[in-house]
């Protein structure tokens, strides 16, 4: 099911302007994994464009240390595989679902950001496995209650986040609030506001033709 979708993506989004040198892709992929780990642990200020494109990373000092986080987690998974198999399986599932985007496939949105929330929708199944495995390992009613509270809090945060997708203007306003330098969001807002300005201009012209001073003044404003 995935292969034809990838082929269609390559055809319709050739990513001619995306800068993603092959030698740098492992570093980009490790940085993306580290970023996602941070957002999973602290799911705040979520957006569609974080500005972490390959060109930015290769000129940022963060490239020297972000790779340590996923590598360290991989070492922990290997070292504890026999005792905590769920940790390795969940982490591997998450990585396999995410890595094709920053590591293997060039795509148009990579011009703006290699990481974005929608890329981890499927990968979050791996996080669910880790969460469930940890609860099973603890085997405690007290921890189940704590987990219940965590799920409720995350559900509330999810509900609030979904509201930012109500329409394009709300979505891109939120993206700019999280990342003021977002090229994608600022450009999209510019197009939206330009379209609105054009609509008001036509309304003003109609008001002038109809000699409707009230509509003319509001449209002009």
> What does the pLDDT look like over 73-118, one tens digit per residue?
999 999 999 999 999 999 999 998 888 766 556 666 777 888 888 8
> Is-contact 123 163, C-beta < 8 A?
no
Which pTM does this prediction carry? 0.78
Cβ neighbours of residue 168 under 8 Å, at least 6 residues apart?
A: 188, 192
pLDDT tier for residue 3 given thresholds of 50, 70 and 90:
confident
Q: Chain-centre distance of CA 94, in angstroms?
A: 14
> Is-contact 219 202, C-beta < 8 A?
no
Q: Is the pLDDT of residue 17 over 70?
A: no
Provide the pLDDT for residue 173: 93
Average of per-residue pLDDT across 53-72? 89
Query: Which of 87-91, 124-128, 167-171, 195-199 bottoms out in mean pLDDT, i.e. has the lowest?
Result: 195-199
Q: Label residue 129 left, alpha or beta by phi (over 0 means left) and psi (-120 to 50 means alpha).
A: alpha
Provide the pLDDT for residue 79: 94
Query: Which of 13-17, 98-102, 159-163, 201-205 bottoms out in mean pLDDT, i.e. has the lowest?
Result: 13-17
> Is-contact 180 47, C-beta < 8 A?
no
Q: Is the pLDDT of residue 16 over 70?
A: no
Average of per-residue pLDDT across 164-186? 91
Task: Pick the closest to residue 35 from 21, 49, 23 (CA basis).
Answer: 49
Q: Is the pLDDT of residue 167 over 80?
A: yes
Q: Is the pLDDT of residue 14 over 80?
A: no
């Amino acid at each position: 099911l995935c292969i034809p979708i990838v082929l269609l993506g390559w055809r319709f989004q050739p990513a001619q302007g995306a800068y993603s040198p092959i030698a740098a892709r492992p570093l980009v992929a490790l940085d993306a994994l580290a970023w996602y780990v941070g957002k999973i642990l602290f799911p705040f200020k979520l957006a569609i464009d974080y500005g972490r494109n390959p060109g930015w990373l290769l000129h940022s000092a963060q490239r020297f240390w972000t790779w340590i986080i996923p590598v360290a987690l991989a070492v922990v998974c290997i070292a504890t595989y026999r005792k905590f198999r769920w940790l390795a399986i969940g982490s591997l599932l998450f990585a396999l679902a995410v890595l094709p985007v920053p590591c293997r496939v060039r795509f148009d949105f990579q011009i703006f950001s290699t990481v974005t929330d929608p890329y981890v929708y499927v990968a979050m199944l791996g996080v669910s496995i880790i969460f469930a495995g940890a609860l099973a390992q603890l085997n405690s009613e007290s921890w189940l209650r704590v987990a219940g509270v965590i799920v409720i809090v995350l559900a509330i945060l999810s509900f609030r986040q979904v509201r930012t997708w109500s329409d394009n203007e709300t979505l891109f306003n939120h993206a700019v609030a999280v990342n003021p330098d977002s090229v994608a969001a600022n450009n999209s807002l510019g197009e939206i506001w330009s379209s609105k300005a054009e609509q008001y201009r036509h309304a003003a012209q109609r008001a002038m033709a109809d000699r409707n001073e009230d509509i003319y003044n509001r449209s002009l404003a």
